[in-house]
């Protein structure tokens, strides 16, 4: 419920301030006019920008005044304009200004949350505010970005290593916590982001450092994070369960009589951004003909929807190669034949001769050489290379010629493994392409990019495809996360490691599709075709 009397009083405070004016306005679950605010209202707001369908089963656990909607956050310096607020106290406290109270709070004497306790290594929590609901991404939507700000009046007194006051939150999607400090696996909490720990993600508003009227931000919270983004990779059409929870860390001095069920913390959740990021889709090469799945449904829908190109007809033993030859973000085709490369530079799916397209000589005279392609330098353009008996010869400067190891790269990775097949990908999500080997269902991936096998965990060894005679390794960014993942092609069936854990988790989590069944002599290809 909006506290109009409180708001009028606050307006008087604003007149005396020399800093920012009041900005954040809140309405909690007690609000009934003009429109009731419910748990469903909050869930619908989280996906208010569209891109997904929210179930009608949203639930809030906690005091009704500890959850609601907010607006005006950007003017208040929060970094998110509007959305859902969950608090361990009364959300109206977020409006109070000037910030003269270093430990403002509300005690509801309610239970905590098991998931928040878990990220605090089992500590007791109190006064949890929890929102739970389900959503289904719309067709072609494969990424959800949750944007949020964590704020607290525990700052800066209680950043003491968790003796008390280490309030925390979780943002769980199907049980996995995505509320993490950027670039780490550390859950967001008071002790994880503050003046001394990860200070780049922290905004200080403590009246002990900024006495009235010098506070930089017009909110009662003594500190808050910058706007943080949690990216979740999803499958269109699949249902996901979301749980957003925040709770007081009850302290460790006397768990039976918790020290902290009073001082407020809150999370401001902006509407999620649901989008479709480019993914690698499948294709087939057969006797110079390319069948490419343009719409990404892993089925051949005919040339009105998908694409049939002729590139390499008449070259017996031609091997298909793919790459972004011209740094446009689109995968194009090519052919490797007896050490000669024919690259479709303009992407029209036809050989137009030079100088429109490109003919290179790289690998002539190496019997059994296998072509490889990748962005070896990380600048966005695909260059060529050769794998021969465990040795990799990579064209680092992109001139299509072997210039020796002072300019190009010669690496040993896979020597001694008879029948080893080279694989490539940016396994860790970094820009440069790294190498790897597939051998009898086992994958050896150079995760650190030094071109040598360093053993796990520095590098990656995965079992994916064991026991499938004739299985062909494939790689691609199946889910739009930015990193390439592994897969298997066998007799027209594709088994793709969608979640990137290096294991086959079944068709619900991973992806199995049929593209090319019944065609003999086919070679799988993958790419971002458009």
Cα-Cα-Cα-Cα dihedral of 520, 523, 528, 529, to 10°? -50
User: Residue 480's pLDDT is what?
Assistant: 87
CA-nearest of 393, 427, 113 to 244 is 113
Per-state percent for the chain, helix, strand, coil, to nearest 5: 5, 35, 60
Q: What is the pTM of this model?
A: 0.75
Peptide bond into 262 cis (omega under 30): no
- Rounded CA-CA distance 74/35 in Å is 24
Reading the block at residue 141, the tokens are: 């939507």
- List the chain domain ranges: 4-275, 281-527
CB contact set of 428 (below 8 Å; sequence gap of 6+): 434, 447, 449, 483
Phi, psi of 516, rounded to the nearest 5 degrees: 110, 5
Per-residue pLDDT of the chain (530 residues; tens, 9 = 90+): 333 323 223 222 222 223 333 447 888 888 876 888 999 999 999 999 999 999 999 999 999 999 999 999 888 888 999 999 999 999 988 876 666 666 677 888 899 999 999 999 988 899 999 999 999 999 889 899 999 999 998 888 777 665 667 899 999 999 999 999 998 889 999 999 999 999 999 999 887 777 666 767 877 788 999 999 999 988 899 999 999 999 998 766 555 555 556 788 999 999 999 998 888 999 999 999 999 999 888 889 999 999 999 999 989 999 999 999 999 999 999 999 999 999 999 999 999 999 999 999 999 989 999 999 999 999 999 999 999 999 999 999 999 999 999 999 999 999 889 999 999 999 998 889 999 999 999 999 999 999 999 999 999 999 999 989 999 999 999 988 889 999 999 999 999 999 999 999 998 889 999 999 888 899 999 999 98
Is residue 361 a contact partner of residue 400, using CB atoms and an 8 Å limit?
yes
User: For 230-286, how does the pLDDT look when each residue is reduced to its tens digit (9 = 90+)?
Assistant: 999 888 999 999 999 999 987 665 555 555 567 889 999 999 999 988 889 999 999
Q: How many CA atoms, within 13 angstroms, populate the side-chain half-sphere of residue 427?
A: 23
Reading the block at residue 82, the tokens are: 């509007």
Q: What is the separation of C-alpha 279 from the centre of its chain, rounded to a whole number of angstroms?
A: 13
User: Residue 80's pLDDT is what?
Assistant: 94
Phi, psi of 249, rounded to the nearest 5 degrees: -75, 120
User: Residue 190's pLDDT is what?
Assistant: 93
Q: What is the CA radius of gyration of the chain?
A: 28
CATH class of 281-527: mainly beta
- Per-position DSSP letters for 128-143, written without gaps between them: EEEEEEEEEEPTT--E
Query: Would you call 320 helix, strand, or coil by DSSP?
Result: strand
- Rounded CA-CA distance 16/18 in Å is 7
Query: Would you call 315 helix, strand, or coil by DSSP?
Result: coil
Tally Cβ neighbours within 10 Å of residue 503: 13
Q: Give me the numbers of helices (H) and strands (E) for the chain, helices first please.
A: 3, 35
């Amino acid at each position: 419920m909006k506290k109009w009397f409180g708001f009028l009083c606050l307006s008087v405070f604003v007149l005396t301030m020399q800093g920012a004016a009041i900005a954040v306005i809140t309405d909690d679950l007690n609000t009934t006019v003009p429109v009731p605010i419910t748990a469903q209202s909050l869930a619908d707001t989280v996906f208010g920008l569209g891109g997904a369908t929210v179930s009608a089963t949203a639930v809030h656990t906690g005091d009704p005044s500890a959850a609601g909607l907010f607006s005006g956050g950007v003017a208040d310096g929060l970094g998110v304009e509007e959305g859902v607020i969950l608090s361990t106290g009364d959300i109206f406290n977020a409006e109070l200004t000037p910030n003269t109270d270093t430990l403002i709070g509300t005690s509801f004497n309610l239970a905590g949350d098991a998931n928040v306790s878990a990220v605090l290594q089992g500590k007791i929590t109190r006064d949890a505010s929890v929102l739970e609901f389900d959503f289904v991404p719309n067709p072609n939507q494969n990424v959800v970005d949750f944007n949020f700000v964590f704020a607290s009046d525990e700052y800066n007194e209680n950043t003491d290593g968790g003796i008390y006051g280490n309030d925390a939150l979780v943002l769980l999607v199907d049980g996995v916590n995505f509320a993490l400090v950027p670039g780490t696996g550390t859950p967001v909490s008071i002790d994880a982001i503050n003046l001394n720990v990860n200070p780049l993600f922290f905004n200080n508003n403590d009246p002990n450092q900024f006495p009235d009227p010098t506070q930089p931000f017009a909110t009662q919270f003594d500190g808050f994070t910058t706007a943080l983004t949690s990216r979740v990779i999803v499958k269109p059409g699949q249902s996901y369960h979301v749980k957003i929870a925040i709770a007081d860390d009850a302290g460790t001095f006397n768990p039976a009589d918790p020290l902290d069920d009073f001082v407020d913390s809150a999370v401001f959740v902006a509407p999620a951004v649901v989008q479709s990021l480019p993914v690698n889709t499948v294709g087939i090469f057969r006797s110079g003909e390319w069948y490419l799945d343009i719409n990404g449904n892993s089925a051949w829908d005919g040339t009105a929807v998908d694409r049939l190109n002729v590139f390499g007809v008449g070259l017996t033993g031609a091997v298909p190669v793919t790459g972004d030859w011209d740094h446009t973000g689109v995968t194009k085709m090519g052919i490797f034949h007896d050490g000669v490369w024919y690259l479709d530079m303009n992407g029209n799916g036809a050989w137009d001769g030079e100088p429109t397209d490109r003919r290179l000589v790289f690998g002539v005279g190496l019997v059994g050489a296998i072509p490889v392609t990748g962005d070896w330098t990380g600048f966005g353009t695909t260059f060529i290379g050769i794998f021969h008996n465990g040795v990799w010869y990579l064209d680092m400067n992109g001139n299509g010629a072997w210039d020796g190891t002072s300019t190009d790269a010669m690496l040993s990775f896979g020597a001694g493994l008879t029948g080893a097949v080279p694989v490539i990908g940016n396994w860790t999500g970094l820009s440069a392409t790294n190498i790897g080997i597939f051998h009898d269902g086992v994958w050896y991936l150079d995760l650190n990019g030094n071109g040598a096998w360093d053993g796990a965990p520095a590098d990656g060894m995965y079992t994916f495809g064991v026991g499938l005679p004739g299985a062909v390794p494939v790689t691609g960014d199946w889910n739009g996360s930015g990193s390439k993942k592994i897969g298997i092609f066998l007799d027209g069936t594709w088994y793709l490691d969608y979640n990137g854990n290096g294991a086959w988790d079944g068709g619900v989590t991973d992806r199995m599709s049929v593209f090319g069944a019944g065609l003999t002599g086919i070679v799988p290809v993958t790419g971002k075709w458009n």
